[in-house]
Structure 1
Amino acid sequence: MKHFSVLVLVVASMLAASSSRAQFRDVGLGAGIGFGGIIGATDDLANNQTKFLARAFVRANIVNGVQAELGAGLGRMAGVNAADATRGNKDGSLSVSQLVPVDARLLLSPFSFEGWNPYLYAGVGVVHYDMENVPGNADPAVKTQGWVPYAPGGLGLQFRLDDQTMFEMSGGYNYAFNDKLNAITSTSQPNGTKKDAYWNFLVGLSVAGESGSADRDGDGLTNREEKELGTDRNVADSDGDGLSDGEEVHTTKTNPRRADSDGDGLNDREEVVQHKTDANKSDTDGDALSDGEEVARHGTDPLKSDTDNDALNDGIEVNRTTTNPTKADTDGDGLADGQEVNQYKTDPLKADTDAGSVNDGKEVAAHSNPLNPSDDVPKKPEIKVEVGKAIVLDGIVFTTGSAVIDPQSEDVLVQAFNTLDQNSDVQVEIRGYTDNVGNRKANLRLSQRRADSVKAWLAKKGIAPSRMGTKGFGPDNSIADNSTQEGRQKNRRIEFFRAK
């Protein structure tokens, strides 16, 4: 009893000290067999002999670190009667019992190491004894065979040979709850122990299938989960996409049996790690281009629907306008592709949409129509005249006393022509004036002829005569002081009066 109590205390302390780090190998149903010996542990016998023991068992995992075991064995316990041994009569007092122990045990692995595994065991059971050689001082009240309850406890080591096979070594103490195993009792042997016991040691092999909760390939999925999913429990990354099956199921929610879950041309790891795209959505940014197309073919950003910020999304540029989705102004005309398509209706592939010699951007800046080639030639300098108002055509000079236009007047006359030519709806009255020197009637006639000369010049250039009227006012409506030469020069003038 003393030996058993010590062993129970050791086992209990190790059970209490074990922590969540303790991991018994996660296995399914298994079995094993061991061979070794028995040595009696009782004062009833002297010279306890080592006899053969064989034991077979089946095991099942309960939780990580704990297994249940059912086993049965066959062995012998032998020794010389202690009282006779002191008298030297060893042969005549030999006690031999055949033992058949049957028990249930719990195995605990307090620690886990690579390739090997220590464990403790304790249990309860019954042992059948059958006296093959009864000693001379056997208690006549004890039957030569029967069943005795007992409790085994001990230590063991497992060494991994492969995924299913372990080499095992174990040893323990087996405490019987009565004194009948060798037929010598405290009644027949006053100095003997009151309870029988024996030591045993075994070496052997155990095999076990994997538990459904095991993770053979270390990918974060149990064997049971892998079977349900159809993944390979021997390969951590069944589809070879660079993500373990467990990552795909628990983290990225992708298909662990398909390298490219969304079929966009990028494998799941490329999407998750490299491009940060959605591995379950073929078009992450919703621009009508798959993520794979954007990365491999177009060089666009699969996370940004409008890569070049031109107000056209990448899909429209590739499939509809055929513009460059990575260049905001495909034709280089100074207008973004989106402006051309949505605002100005110009061709984003053609810098000068109307082929009028000025590119679209310059036309927009100049407020001309980029769809009308006729306005591409810049307007010539003209004279701005408001309806109902007159403006002096400063710089028109005539030969003294005549209506002949001096050549130096050309620049001003050209501007007058431009005004009428570029504004076809304008109608004017050309007004002639003189200073107050000389006869009034003569000045009226001279001013009329000069107005007519200007009209004739413009008509000759192509302005319709019907758009121009003339009138001579002589010295009337002076705008300066006729008493000075400078004032008289200003009063000798031609005016445009815009009638329409």
Structure 2
Amino acid sequence: MKKLLLIIFTILAISNLDTFGQFHNYVVKYGIQSFIIQPSTEFNNDSYKLSLLGRGFLRKELNSYLEAELGVAIGELNGKDPINKNWSTFILPTDLRIIFSPIASANTSPYFYSGIGLLRWYNTQNSSLRSPKKSDKIGWALEIPVGAGTEIKIGNETLLNLSFGYNFIQSDDINYFNSPDANDGYFNLGIGLTFVMGAGLTDEDHDGLNKDFEISIGTSPTNSDSDGDGITDYDEINTYNTNPLNKDTDNDGLTDFDEINIHNSDPKSIDTDGDDIFDGAEVNTYKTNPNSKDSDNDGLGDNYEINAYKTNPANNDSDSDKLYDKEEIQKYKTDPNNADTDGDGLSDGEEIIKYKTNPLVPDSENIQRISDDKAFNLNQQNQTILEGISFELNKAEILENSKKILQQALKYLNENSQIKIEIHGYTDNSGPKDFNKKLSQERADAVKLWFVQNGIDALRITAFGYGDSNPIADNNTEEGRLKNRRIEIVKIN
């Protein structure tokens, strides 16, 4: 008996005790055990006689550490009294045990147990000694089993069960000899088989997928997120239809988690919006919206902006000239990457929106930049053209950019307070003559008014509008019409 106990202790000592293994997470366990038992009575020091016990049990998991076990056994306790006469007692123990298995490896699971039960006994062969106290030949007694053991995996659903223990019996009548010393009991050393049912139907990682299914598809039954992308295996399979073994199912450079939770793109499609740019490139390289073919809503697809026009697909005005890229390309034919396509010092947006000029022609609509050091001089005919005076299209409102040349003329008039001038307004021949005549007069009056508002005596200035008469260049060309649209100042004294 001592040698067998030593073997059990050795098995427990050499077990690989690392992490929880397949001994947990099952539906039910059942098994059979055979025991060699050793009575513990008043006759302990007398000769041992072979005693056997058979037991069956049903076990259910309570949590990762505890199991509840219900067992029924049948056996016979045999021994010899001090005068070497045999005694025998039939026993039928029934008990409920709690199994505590705090650690397990892939192949072994040590455990401890304790419980409570009832023992039915019947003395079949009496001792030759007379009991000092009245003893019952048959009866019931409370029983408390304690012990330890280990389960060793020998098959996918089969375990070898080795155990040893002691059963405390709350009676001293088991050997039909009742003394005031102590109650009876018995040691047990057992071997058996445990069968596991439903281990593959458990969900150890609580991700909603059972063990057998996870093994069949290659995911980890102990890790709810096999690829570590922040989405449970269950959601990847049943909700998003993504690959639970690949953080980036469509290999577009974005993780499934980011596509679903941050970018709202399709984790199964490398190009969610179908613009021929991978979602990863849209997010990481071009900073565009992977769900929109035209991220900046400028009317040009992201792909065209990137590959055809070299514009910024995330900015509807790449050159910041206040014109949409699409307008520049399709309507105005200007360069969407150059704020001043014609290089005349005015942005395309200023020319089109503010001055109503042609952004493809330098200095169009008589808008010219006058350098600060350019002098205001009259020619030999005592006249000059105020190059740079500009107005709203078909209106007499002087634009802001005209102030430089007007300031020069104002300086000249202030320095020569004795002179009087005439202001002559001209147009090209693009419109009706009556309209041109009226417009030229209004523009000449507007220039006069500006001088008066800036301190020049109105009596020194007379304004005339001559329409499209007296052209100084060919009205058949844009350049000629540009020159003909002018304001002249003529000295009259």
> 1:179 is matched with which residue?
172
Compared CA separation, residues 303 and 50, structure 1 to 2 (3 A): farther
> 1:127 is matched with which residue?
119
Compared CA separation, residues 363 and 255, structure 1 to 2 (3 A): farther
Compared CA separation, residues 283 and 124, structure 1 to 2 (3 A): closer
Compared CA separation, residues 136 and 115, structure 1 to 2 (3 A): same
**Match of 1:204, as an amino acid?**
G
Confirm whether residue 80 of structure 1 aligns to residue 80 of structure 2.
yes
Structure-2-length-normalised TM-score? 0.55
Compared CA separation, residues 131 and 325, structure 1 to 2 (3 A): same
Confirm whether residue 201 of structure 1 aligns to residue 189 of structure 2.
yes
Distance in 2 between residues matched to 1:172 and 1:497, nearest whole Å: 128
| Contact persistence 1:282–1:290 (CA under 8 A) | no
1:224-271 Cα distance to aligned partner (Å, 9 max, x none): x336xx974755649xxx95389655699766553449xxxx638867
**Match of 1:329, as an amino acid?**
T
Distance in 2 between residues matched to 1:294 and 1:124, nearest whole Å: 72
Name the SS of the counterpart of 2:62 in structure 1: strand
Name the SS of the counterpart of 1:323 in structure 2: helix
Confirm whether residue 361 of structure 1 aligns to residue 341 of structure 2.
yes
2:103 to 108, 111, 120: 111
| Contact persistence 2:342–2:362 (CA under 8 A) | no
Distance in 2 between residues matched to 1:103 and 1:461, nearest whole Å: 121
Confirm whether residue 221 of structure 1 aligns to residue 221 of structure 2.
no
> 2:70 is matched with which residue?
70
Whichever of the two has the greater Rg, that structure is: 1
Distance in 2 between residues matched to 1:104 and 1:367, nearest whole Å: 92
Distance in 1 between residues matched to 2:231 and 2:472, nearest whole Å: 89
**Match of 2:31, as an amino acid?**
G
Once the two structures are TM-superposed, the CA of residue 114 in structure 1 deviates from its matched residue by: 3.7
Distance in 1 between residues matched to 2:345 and 2:234, nearest whole Å: 51
Distance in 2 between residues matched to 1:51 and 1:162, nearest whole Å: 30
Distance in 1 between residues matched to 2:343 and 2:330, nearest whole Å: 14
Name the SS of the counterpart of 2:119 in structure 1: strand
**Match of 1:181, as an amino acid?**
I
> 1:99 is matched with which residue?
91
TM alignment of 1:26-37, pairs within 5 A: 26-37=25-36
1:347 to 314, 320, 329: 329
> 2:42 is matched with which residue?
43
TM alignment of 1:243-254, pairs within 5 A: 244=226
Distance in 1 between residues matched to 2:47 and 2:252, nearest whole Å: 74
- Across the aligned residues of Structure 1 and Structure 2, the Cα RMSD in angstroms comes to 5.4
Percentage of matched positions with identical amino acids:
16
1:409-458 Cα distance to aligned partner (Å, 9 max, x none): xxxxxxxxxx999966799xxxxxxxxxxxxxxxxxxxxxxxxxxxxxx9
Compared CA separation, residues 293 and 169, structure 1 to 2 (3 A): farther
Distance in 1 between residues matched to 2:311 and 2:236, nearest whole Å: 38
> 1:258 is matched with which residue?
240
| Contact persistence 1:323–1:348 (CA under 8 A) | no
1:56-92 Cα distance to aligned partner (Å, 9 max, x none): 111112222111111111222111111x1xxxxx3xx
TM alignment of 1:323-334, pairs within 5 A: 323-324=305-306, 329=311
5+ long unaligned stretches in structure 2: 1-18, 371-375, 383-423, 430-435, 441-469, 476-487
Once the two structures are TM-superposed, the CA of residue 121 in structure 1 deviates from its matched residue by: 0.9
1:353-396 Cα distance to aligned partner (Å, 9 max, x none): 8xxxx9971256456867987973778999x9xxxx9922489x
**Match of 1:203, as an amino acid?**
I
Name the SS of the counterpart of 2:47 in structure 1: strand
Distance in 2 between residues matched to 1:135 and 1:65, nearest whole Å: 44
Name the SS of the counterpart of 1:175 in structure 2: strand
Distance in 1 between residues matched to 2:300 and 2:360, nearest whole Å: 32
Compared CA separation, residues 122 and 277, structure 1 to 2 (3 A): same
> 1:57 is matched with which residue?
57
Distance in 2 between residues matched to 1:257 and 1:340, nearest whole Å: 45
Distance in 1 between residues matched to 2:234 and 2:331, nearest whole Å: 41
| Contact persistence 2:252–2:278 (CA under 8 A) | no
Distance in 2 between residues matched to 1:177 and 1:33, nearest whole Å: 25
Distance in 2 between residues matched to 1:269 and 1:375, nearest whole Å: 46
Once the two structures are TM-superposed, the CA of residue 113 in structure 1 deviates from its matched residue by: 3.3
Name the SS of the counterpart of 1:184 in structure 2: coil
| Contact persistence 2:276–2:303 (CA under 8 A) | no
Distance in 2 between residues matched to 1:71 and 1:268, nearest whole Å: 54
| Contact persistence 2:146–2:166 (CA under 8 A) | yes
Once the two structures are TM-superposed, the CA of residue 147 in structure 1 deviates from its matched residue by: 2.3
| Contact persistence 2:253–2:281 (CA under 8 A) | no
State which drifts further: 95-104 or 41-50.
41-50
> 1:392 is matched with which residue?
379
Distance in 1 between residues matched to 2:116 and 2:297, nearest whole Å: 75
Distance in 2 between residues matched to 1:364 and 1:273, nearest whole Å: 49
Once the two structures are TM-superposed, the CA of residue 290 in structure 1 deviates from its matched residue by: 3.1
Name the SS of the counterpart of 1:67 in structure 2: strand
> 2:249 is matched with which residue?
267
Name the SS of the counterpart of 1:202 in structure 2: strand
| Contact persistence 1:37–1:51 (CA under 8 A) | yes
Compared CA separation, residues 254 and 234, structure 1 to 2 (3 A): closer
> 2:454 is matched with which residue?
none
Compared CA separation, residues 303 and 123, structure 1 to 2 (3 A): farther
Name the SS of the counterpart of 2:324 in structure 1: helix
Distance in 2 between residues matched to 1:57 and 1:119, nearest whole Å: 16
Once the two structures are TM-superposed, the CA of residue 161 in structure 1 deviates from its matched residue by: 3.1
Name the SS of the counterpart of 1:324 in structure 2: helix
Structure-1-length-normalised TM-score? 0.54
1:117-144 Cα distance to aligned partner (Å, 9 max, x none): 1111111212222333323225495443
5+ long unaligned stretches in structure 1: 1-20, 85-89, 188-192, 396-418, 428-457, 464-494
> 1:478 is matched with which residue?
none
Distance in 2 between residues matched to 1:237 and 1:268, nearest whole Å: 18
Distance in 2 between residues matched to 1:59 and 1:303, nearest whole Å: 59
| Contact persistence 1:79–1:95 (CA under 8 A) | yes
Distance in 2 between residues matched to 1:325 and 1:282, nearest whole Å: 25
Once the two structures are TM-superposed, the CA of residue 159 in structure 1 deviates from its matched residue by: 1.3
Once the two structures are TM-superposed, the CA of residue 170 in structure 1 deviates from its matched residue by: 0.4
